[in-house]
Amino acid sequence: MIQMPPAAPPATRVRYCQIDSDQAGQRVDNFLIRELGGVPKTLVYRILRKGEVRVNKGRVKPEYRLQAGDEVRIPPVQTASKSEVTVDARSADTIEIPILFEDNALLVVNKPSGLAVHGGSGLSFGLIELLRRQRPDEKYLELAHRLDRETSGVLLLAKSRKALMSLHTQLRERHTEKHYLALLCGRLRKTREINAALRKNTLQSGERVVRVDATEGRAALSRFKPITQYAGVTYADVEILTGRTHQIRVHAQHAGLPLAGDAKYGERACNQRLRSFGLKRLFLHASELHLRHPLSAEPLCFRAPLAHDLQRVLDRLQCESLPAGPTET
């Protein structure tokens, strides 16, 4: 798990940014969210509405698309509270992000568990802010997709806007193939497809959850394939044919085979049993991603080995026996 670095003071001076060709074409609100990593989106829209952000000395609306040569005035904002953390030069050098592949268009990393992909929701930094800090000469670096904070594995970043647009098109039009490794509470005896629409919900407590909703949900399809059976649990490959928030976790719960270590959608008794085998987090790892290179269209396949902490759990399961768990019906 990633240890959070100490806090740094907030920005205190106005900054001016000159937009280059790689940055041109994006909305100013998205540009600010990137530049002010860790700042709540509500604050970004507030400083735009109040006219504190200026483009070529004039006010702009959030949907304004930046042009090459534009000068953007960014006011000083509070980027960290006492309870939050941010990246400083020293701590940025101590957090290592394993690189699986890199060229002039792509950066592919093996994201560690415990590190959010971007700041927000009480965190003032994430993987993207960390990499930008470690690579100050990189003119453009953007996430092409996302993984949950607890999920480890293959993560794509684009090094130009052209590459990002190509990756987004492939992901949106399902021209990619994404596989995850998961430990399911229960027995999955054969390959099973879960076709269940998903909808985001907010509980009265303010917690955000995703539920199966055939009426108002967005289409979601996952394919679960068993790899190894252990006592009461199944080690499985999961291919997602759509990319919805918490898709694997909610589909697994819907199938009666919740993910091991899942505190939000999982089964408490199963999670408690697996703690004795060393499982301390969600057992979900983005293991494999197939796509075409965003500039050359060359077929690519990226693989990330199972995280060491999860492999140790499997090794212990192989040597010992769990009490019988729920069985797929």
Tell me the catalytic residues: 148
**Is residue 180 helix, strand or coil?**
strand
Cα 252–chain centre separation: 19
Return d(Cα 115, Cα 151) in angstroms, integer.
Answer: 9
| Cα→Cα distances 203→246, 265, 269, Å | 16, 14, 24
Between CA 124 and CA 132, with CA 130 as vertex, the angle to 5 degrees is 115
| 134's tokens | 């470690």
**Is residue 32 helix, strand or coil?**
helix
| Cα→Cα distances 230→182, 236, 276, Å | 13, 11, 15
Contact (Cβ atoms closer than 8 angstroms) between residue 17 and residue 102 = no
End-to-end Cα spacing for the chain = 35
Tell whether the torsion through CA atoms of 87, 93, 99 and 105 is positive or negative. positive
Contact (Cβ atoms closer than 8 angstroms) between residue 150 and residue 165 = no
